[in-house]
Amino acid sequence: MTHTITFTDRDEEVEAEDGQTVLQAILQGGIEYMHACGGFCNCTTCRVKIDEGMENVSDMKEDEKNTLRRFQGEEILEGPYRLSCQVKVHGDIKISEPEWY
């Protein structure tokens, strides 16, 4: 089963296999996306904003929470931000790239 990941801030979308991470799907779809640590949950450069479909992604695990907290502060956990290398797709979602680079 495949799902669609649509960028709301650019005219691009990719298909994702069920359970695939957002980063894996983006890279396999030919879209360049920053991921300095190589997808190992050691930085926040691959952060995405989930604009629609939060119910269609995996729950945040402790290692992702800890990394986001360490680099972005506690308040980041209250928003729609996730690490694309950790969040798994289980339905169609719409995402955007945070304005911070």
Distance CA 26, CA 85 (A): 10
101 within domain boundaries: no
CATH code assigned at 19:
3.10.20.30
- pTM, two decimals, is 0.95
What confidence tens digit (pLDDT) does each residue in 62-92 have? Answer: 999 999 999 999 999 999 999 999 999 999 9
What confidence tens digit (pLDDT) does each residue in 2-52 have? Answer: 999 999 999 999 999 999 999 999 999 999 999 999 999 999 999 999 999
Determine the structural domain holding residue 59 and report its residue range: 2-96
Number of domains comprising the chain: 1
87 within domain boundaries: yes
Distance CA 88, CA 50 (A): 12
